[in-house]
Amino acid sequence: MKSVSNIALEYTTTSNEQNQRELLLLLVSYFLTLYDMEKENFADELGISSEFVEDAQIKFDYMKKIELTLQNMRETVQSEKDKDSEALTALYFNRILNTDGKKAKELAQIETAKHLTRLDRSKKIRKRWKAFSGCCDVCRAMDGVTVALDEPFMYQGQVVELSSGERYINNYAAMDTPNAHPNDKCSIEFIIE
């Protein structure tokens, strides 16, 4: 059985379009499986069923995003023909694996927490950004930020004051999970009231 990294390498180097599509589907299903496993684990931890349909659109949107991310990785590796494609694929794919694998799990947790609030209207759940030690200035500034489940931690265009006195402007999409940059190791904490 091939490792997910070997599948990523084959995906970036094959010229056969049918193989490309099949390998892309395998990679996307890997990330969706991470989502489903985390949804199951977190629902079990909360003592609720993981069977709910509200997350179908979230999964579809995530699937499209990860598919685009993987296609961009392939194009980047293919455009660098003079470089070692195996090393380049490993570098890009590990970053995608760390960043998007974490995001899949956190999205599953958020959707499961939302499901709990639909089951029990008396429960109010908020999410909190938890920075890890040794994090960047942006993550340090976001540490402890607590918002409603439906709100992003940071909006597109939002300005964050850093401890250095500098200002960070989020030029990217709104951040529903604590992922300020690739390979972000910050985590999400849920506050149940």
- Are residues 24 and 89 both part of a single domain? yes
DSSP state of 180: S
pLDDT band at 140 (very low <50, low <70, confident <90, very high): very high
pLDDT of residue 51: 78
Q: Tell me the whole-structure pTM to 2 decimals.
A: 0.82
Q: Which of 68, 91, 119 is the last residue of a domain?
A: 119
Q: Which of 71, 103, 119 is the last residue of a domain?
A: 119
DSSP code string of 82-103: TS-HHHHHHHHHHHHHHHHHHH
DSSP H helices, 4-84, are 4-13, 17-46, 56-79
Q: Is the pLDDT of residue 54 over 70?
A: no
Q: Give φ, ψ of 83 to 5 degrees.
A: -100, 170
- Are residues 34 and 72 both part of a single domain? yes
Which is nearest to 63 in space by CA: 41, 39, 92, 35? 35
pLDDT band at 53 (very low <50, low <70, confident <90, very high): low
Q: Is the pLDDT of residue 181 over 80?
A: yes
Which tens digits make up the pLDDT trace of 100-139?
Answer: 889 999 999 999 999 999 888 898 999 999 998 889 999 9
Q: Which of 100, 119, 138 is the last residue of a domain?
A: 119
Structural domain tally of the chain? 2
- Are residues 141 and 48 both part of a single domain? no
Residue span of the structural domain in which 26 resides: 4-119
Q: Is the pLDDT of residue 49 over 80?
A: yes
